[in-house]
Amino acid sequence: MLAIIIPYFKLTFFEATMQSLANQTDKRFKVYIGDDNSPENPTLLLQNFKEKFHFEYTKFENNLGGISLTKQWDRCIELCGNEQWIMILGDDDVLSDSVVENWYKNYAEFNSKTNIVRFASILVDESSNPTSSKYSHPKWEMATDSFYRKFLGDSRSSLSEHIFLKEAYERNGFYNYQLAWNSDDRAWLEFSEDKPIFTINESIVYIRISKINISGKADNYLIKNKSLLECYKFLISKKLSHYSPQQRTNILRNYGINIK
């Protein structure tokens, strides 16, 4: 069975997230909502979805995301039962109706061959209007190649459109970069354990960029850039051998430019 984890903090777009789960054509999933001691109480909203799909809501006694987002992810994952596969869905992101259905339809093809499954994605604004074209990916792709396409600006990647094997997470964990910026990028490089990522392009995860989330804010640029450089250091020290000589040169050159 599939666990969908929602590290909850903001109510603003949460109804759209929950509605997208209620709209799933296949209900073989369980949702675990971990409230990071938010001042925005979602319990009244949650009542509207009580009979629509299976979920558990837990409010933590302390706010952890303000100190470490990855540690908040970790304690939300601890809420899981015996599910083998995990999606961490942002409290403002939205799934197309067929995400779970297509995951199960493709299960026999990817099971035991990959630790990570991803979906196509589209960026949306505060009004849910698309701000990008659809980001599709090769059906099978090594995580290092996926990272390099993002590095070139030919692709994008975030947490919500990925489903990963719980055992791979337990072996590797999320690296605690500030703001968890690039923590997901490093996770795919490590969780994949040199197996290719499997992509389902027929379903879409809508990733919201707004003034109230980390991705949309501009006042945290220096922190984001520091985390990016730390991720590059990891890539250079652990994964550089996976790239061609020209790709290595491009990565090293870009790292050199950013540290100046």
Give the C-alpha separation, 159 to 60, whole Å: 22
Extract the tokens encoding 119.
């979906």
Q: What is the pLDDT of residues 124-160, one digit of tens each?
A: 999 999 999 999 999 999 999 999 999 899 999 999 9
Q: What is the pLDDT of residue 236?
A: 94
- Which CATH architecture describes the domain 2-173+184-212? Alpha-Beta Complex (3.90)
**Nearest CA among 226, 164, 222 for reference residue 189:** 164
Under DSSP, the state recorded for 240 is G
Sorting pLDDT into bands at 50, 70 and 90, what band is 176?
very high
**The pTM is what?**
0.94
Mean pLDDT on 35-51:
98
More confident residue, 54 or 258: 54
Mean pLDDT of the chain: 94
Under DSSP, the state recorded for 243 is S
Give the C-alpha separation, 118 to 135, whole Å: 11
Residue 177 CB-half CA count within 13 A:
21
Angle at 258 between CA 121 and CA 207, to 5 degrees: 15
With 90 as the cut, is the pLDDT of residue 32 above it? yes
Give the C-alpha separation, 57 to 23, whole Å: 19
Place of tokens 């059906």: 139
Find the helix or strand (DSSP H, E) in which 177 lies: none
- Chain centroid offset of residue 198 CA: 15
Count other Cβ atoms within 10 Å, centred on residue 239.
17
Extract the tokens encoding 221.
């640029």
What percent of the chain has pLDDT above 90?
Answer: 86
Mean pLDDT on 163-178:
97
Q: What is the pLDDT of residues 188-240, one digit of tens each?
A: 999 999 999 999 999 999 999 988 655 555 656 677 788 888 998 999 999 99
Under DSSP, the state recorded for 38 is -
Per-domain residue ranges for the chain?
A: 2-173+184-212
More confident residue, 221 or 56: 56
- What stretches of the chain adopt beta strand conformation (E)? 2-8, 29-35, 55-59, 85-88, 94-95, 116-124, 140-141, 162-165, 197-208
Sorting pLDDT into bands at 50, 70 and 90, what band is 1?
confident
First CA to last CA distance, the chain: 47
